Structure 1
Amino acid sequence: MKSAIILLVAIIQLTPAAEPDAESLLRKVSELTLSEDGKLNFTQLVTKYGHTAEQYEVATKDGYLLKLFHIPGKRSSVLLTHGLGADADLYVIRGHGSLGIALADRGYDVWLLNNRGTKFSRRHTALDPDKDKKFWDYSFHEMGYYDLAAAIDFVLHQTGEEKIMAIGHSQGASQFFALTSLRTEYNQKVKLFLALAPGAFFFNMPPLFQIAAGAGPLLLELAKILGIEELCRDRGALVTLIKIICTKGIISYEVCVKGAIFPFLGYNPAGFELSFLRTVLGHAPSGLSRKCLEHYDQLYLRKKFGQFDYGVSGNLGKYGHPNPPDYALSKVTTDVALMAGELDTLSLVQNVKVLKNQLPNVVHFEVIEATTHTDFVVSGEASIYLFPSIFRLLQEYD
């Protein structure tokens, strides 16, 4: 449910993949349509905008090898976690207007996590993502329980700090709440968590989402039967073809943005302009698992923020109960700031308020005007509507 757009791409991926030579050709054609920043990688973007980028590989307790980026600074450390189908790139692709670069401009020590399955983190100590379906047996639950935990511990070890600050967008917030509700010791390692458009509760969703979520179980089960566990692979031929189609001018913008993105995530042409398509599509989408979408679809259908539902027999074996347990949000004792977008049609303001009422230490709640779901990370206007609030909060805990 978390992104019907990604679900549509998943459906397209049910067709056979292109041959390697054709895939390579598609990539070359695609690169011709991208902007300069759309062609630059993370390190090149950070360097272009005046900073140094470092890369580390962090191992999780269940064997995944994650790429963790670092933009060194002298102020407190801030760890950024991305949303579903994205990776750390989206925090730097607007240059000085991106949150990652803007934080570095103000001297913060910026760390950026790339969750398992993204283009930067397709490695495991024993599993091959191209051969072993077990590699893709995860959702935001494991991204929190293992990935985020490993990143926090690594940053604390590298910096010698006792606590860090963290920011998570959408799924990045889901995984934080999963982690801190289950491994409560991590509440003591984060002095402030900023949840941007957090994904937790999905009540009273718009009709379009209800239709997509209703079809979700059938479509995802079909993908499972066909053996499709990886979705939206960065260099997959069909994803590349979509990128080509969506970077061809005003008609592409009408179809790909106004027709596909805005209806699901919120309408704001000023935050996602035509020219930006040629940059963002050089970096997104990034890979994810089928199970990620299935877990979010379950949250909507069950009207709960809980662990993955394996069915009665599976739940009895895993949880000792026929129903999956809810995440105990009362155990999330970290100071939390919640930010909802006024125009967000995915993380609705009213649902973020439900989350607020269940968390014990909400120190700040704010509805950001003229902001959609994607605007939190890619809007050209984020420096006007969003960054001032973030900087004020970080200053209080710096």
Structure 2
Amino acid sequence: MIIKLIIFFLSTLVVTLNLITQRDTPTDFIKIVNDSRYPVGEYDVVTQDGYILKLFHIPGDRSRPVLLMHGVIDSADTFVLRKNTSLAIALANAGHDVWIGNNRGNKYSRRHQYLDPNTDREFWDYSFHEFGYYDLPAIIDFVLDNTGAKSLSAIGHSQGNSIFLVLGATRPEYNERIRVLVSLSPICFLNNLKNSASQILKLLPAITRFLSIIGQEEIFSEDTVSARVFRYICGSKKSYSFCAHEIFFRLAGSDSEELEADFYPAVVAHYPTGTSKKNAVHLSQVGARRTFAEFDYGFRNLDIYNSTVSPEYDLSKVTMKVALLAGLNDNISTIKDVTLLRNKLPNVVEYNVVNHKKFNHIDAVWGRNMHIYLFPSIFNILSKHG
């Protein structure tokens, strides 16, 4: 199937390059939230190593702050795309003070105090390790300083949970600042990927080697030809039967009732967004080594870690309360891998398999009826532990 996809894109590339014109910029986060009749603030958060991150805020009860963190090649948009039935708006409706973060390198956080992402390769020298070690502490400290709260609740999706595990393991003092982490489709171990997700993981080393040869450090940038071709080909309802079924569903798990044709173009307009090649390499290493470990620098490990092997993250140090929510139809965050994570963490307060048989990796953020299947569980967890 991967070969078929490559052939399909190559065969249409010449035609589409001649047809693509500059399109309107997709509706951004603030416009989406304002359309739901909520005010929204935006802030620049500067990390210890100089990255400038965009943080959005939907005001509510300042004693009840909740931080939402997106997954891989995603942005804050993912939590508001469903507008009035999206997770961020549902939390705001319930009175929470809602903060939505963006990791370095995506379309909202493509800035640095000294480095230019277009000319300085050093800008892209990061993986999800830096998301957890630098980005999260800066965001959490900013939220707590602005609300006056001593701790906050957090909700992560996919890799948005990996980074909290990195945080808790490498900066354990932050465990006390998290009331509870609600982990939606959590990513930690990648030992039991299914179908196309497993194939993509195996291909990642070859793909990243090719990117190194051509000097490409950023992937899925908004302005690249490949991104524009993808959005041109897959950005309309007409492409739903191919792009949704043969790309999104094969990777994440199929659920056409939740990601329907009418809504699907809104997803493609906002997803994917940029990250570093190094982040993809780190994920491939986690899968290949079958362990959740720091970035493997090869022969440089001895200088960096004083060991020939990059160290595993010590999950026993992640003492924050964690609630795991998984799906039977998730090809990426599989039940087996979530169970492995459950057995490694010392303070899992809940482990729920979502009561919807087709619940997959993307339903948690884009599902049409998640306000029925998923949100009650989230609010219950926040009520009990947040």
State the TM bucket, normalised to the shorter chain.
over 0.9
**Per the alignment, do residues 165 and 59 of structure 1 end up closer, same or farther by CA in structure 2, a change over 3 Å counting?**
same
- The runs of 5 or more residues in structure 2 that have no matched partner are none
Counterpart for residue 219 of structure 2 = 231
Contact 1:27–1:235 (8 Å) recurs in 2: no
Contact 1:376–1:382 (8 Å) recurs in 2: yes
Q: Does 1:384 pair with 2:372?
A: yes
- State the Cα distance separating 1:234 from its structure 2 match: 1.7
Alignment of 1:187-266 (within 5 A): 187-250=175-238, 252-266=239-253
- The runs of 5 or more residues in structure 1 that have no matched partner are 32-37
Counterpart for residue 111 of structure 1 = 99
- State the Cα distance separating 1:244 from its structure 2 match: 1.6
Counterpart for residue 315 of structure 1 = 301
Counterpart for residue 34 of structure 1 = none
**Per the alignment, do residues 208 and 246 of structure 1 end up closer, same or farther by CA in structure 2, a change over 3 Å counting?**
closer
Among candidates 353, 371, 374, match of residue 367 of structure 1 = 353
Alignment of 1:7-18 (within 5 A): none
| Partners of 1:347 and 1:70 in 2: CA distance | 28
**Per the alignment, do residues 379 and 207 of structure 1 end up closer, same or farther by CA in structure 2, a change over 3 Å counting?**
closer
RMSD: 2.1
- State the Cα distance separating 1:272 from its structure 2 match: 0.6
- State the Cα distance separating 1:247 from its structure 2 match: 2.7
Q: Does 1:134 pair with 2:126?
A: no
Q: Does 1:102 pair with 2:90?
A: yes
| Partners of 2:131 and 2:324 in 1: CA distance | 20
2:260 partner amino acid: E
TM-score (norm 1): 0.90
* 3-state SS of 1:192 partner: strand
1:306 partner amino acid: A
| Partners of 1:242 and 1:223 in 2: CA distance | 18
* 3-state SS of 2:115 partner: coil
Alignment of 1:233-382 (within 5 A): 233-250=221-238, 252-311=239-298, 313-368=299-354, 369=356, 370-382=358-370
* 3-state SS of 1:27 partner: coil
1:94 partner amino acid: R
Q: Which moved more, 1:151-160 or 1:388-397?
A: 388-397
Counterpart for residue 179 of structure 1 = 167
Per-residue CA deviations over 1:225-246 (Å, capped at 9, x if unaligned) read: 2111111112333312211211
Q: Which moved more, 1:342-351 or 1:196-205?
A: 196-205
Contact 1:347–1:373 (8 Å) recurs in 2: yes
Among candidates 19, 22, 31, match of residue 27 of structure 1 = 22
Contact 2:197–2:250 (8 Å) recurs in 1: no
- State the Cα distance separating 1:207 from its structure 2 match: 4.7
Q: Which moved more, 1:41-50 or 1:174-183?
A: 41-50
| Partners of 2:164 and 2:22 in 1: CA distance | 35
- State the Cα distance separating 1:26 from its structure 2 match: 2.8
- State the Cα distance separating 1:365 from its structure 2 match: 0.3
Per-residue CA deviations over 1:253-305 (Å, capped at 9, x if unaligned) read: 12111011111110100111111122112212111111111111111100001
- State the Cα distance separating 1:204 from its structure 2 match: 2.9
| Partners of 2:316 and 2:31 in 1: CA distance | 42
TM-score (norm 2): 0.93
Contact 2:124–2:217 (8 Å) recurs in 1: yes
2:312 partner amino acid: D
| Partners of 2:338 and 2:175 in 1: CA distance | 20
**Per the alignment, do residues 389 and 320 of structure 1 end up closer, same or farther by CA in structure 2, a change over 3 Å counting?**
same
Question: Alignment length, in residue pairs?
Answer: 375
Contact 1:233–1:286 (8 Å) recurs in 2: yes
**% of aligned pairs identical?**
41
Per-residue CA deviations over 1:108-164 (Å, capped at 9, x if unaligned) read: 000000110000001001100000111011111000100011000000000000010
